[in-house]
Amino acid sequence: MNGAEDRPIRVGEAKSAGPLLSIGVFARRSRLSAKALRLYDRLGLLTPDYVDETNGYRWYRESQLATARLVAMLRRLDMPLEHVARVASADGPQGAAIIASYWAAVERRIASQRELAAHLQTRLRGEGETFGRFEIREREVPDQLVLTEQRHLHVDVLAGWLGATMSRLAEAAQDLGGVVGPMFAIYHGEVDEDGDGPVEVCAPISPALESSTGLAMRREPAHHEAYVRLIKAQVEYPQILSAFDAVAQWISCRGRRAPGAPREVYFTDWESAAPSDEVCDVAFPMR
């Protein structure tokens, strides 16, 4: 016990559960604030063992300290509470795997932001062309008949929507002979924390099927385009923005115009690709 703030075990309580600690004592020993403990109680993440019905005082078991200290350390990683809850409720190896997955995502995000920050600093200092680290290429793209789906959405749901939509269009194309070229996503407007596009996903199918009904389809005109090829690790947002910026600047520096909307062209299976595999082209139609 720890003085007057520790409530003695009541008659009939299982002593093997350990003594009850007031929220003040529990907060000090767990290195969590009383305010945080009340929040975790409301969220069901770390609930008191006993709440006095007469005064609302919260009491915690000493055996809950290990979970509370784990929560405190996870929050120091800036881990969202939903992830913390998953770790706290998992067994050791499973919890370790959740932490590993979360931290890998953090490191990818930091790497992406570091590269984007360096790119922006170079541009703002006026140190010349910012596309030098990218190999910009040109190609001719033929006229294509495409199945299409379009949506207004923000960047936080973009990746999930792209994957689901490409799967839907690929499945729909099966009855039409399948997809006959790389799928691509056209950005008709900015997609970020503030802009919602729209974004259009296109799946090329056989031109002979233009008379087919029941599915949204259109002709994507033939055009000349500039593009840069990216590996999977470079497609993370916001890192990918530097590729869009580089292609646009490359076109401008050559006195050319980009009359069409930019796009991402996916030419391999995303799920099976390794971080170092080439998976996507960032392209701008140009004249």
Looking at residue 2, its pLDDT comes to: 44
d(CA 114, CA 183) in angstroms, rounded, equals 29
Map tokens 């309580």 to a residue: 13
Six-digit token string for 186: 């056209």
Q: What is the pLDDT of residues 201-242, one digit of tens each?
A: 999 999 887 766 678 999 999 999 999 999 998 888 877 888
Q: Residue 163's closest CA among 199, 189, 190, 188?
A: 199
d(CA 116, CA 122) in angstroms, rounded, equals 10
Sequence letter at residue 267:
F
Q: What is the pLDDT of residues 71-81, one digit of tens each?
A: 888 998 999 98
Looking at residue 13, its pLDDT comes to: 41
Instruction: Classify 256 as helix, strand or coil.
Output: coil
d(CA 268, CA 198) in angstroms, rounded, equals 24
Low-confidence ranges of the chain (pLDDT < 50): 1-16
d(CA 237, CA 113) in angstroms, rounded, equals 8
DSSP 4: G
Which residue ranges form the domains of the chain, and what is each CATH number? 3-89 (1.10.1660.10), 136-285 (3.20.80.10)
Six-digit token string for 286: 């140009």
Using CA atoms of 121, 127, 128, 131 in order, give the dihedral in degrees to the nearest 10: -40
d(CA 99, CA 192) in angstroms, rounded, equals 27
Q: Compute CA 241 distance to the chain's CA centroid, rounded to the nearest angstrom.
A: 15
Looking at residue 184, its pLDDT comes to: 98
Looking at residue 185, its pLDDT comes to: 98
Express as a percent the part of the chain with pLDDT over 70: 89
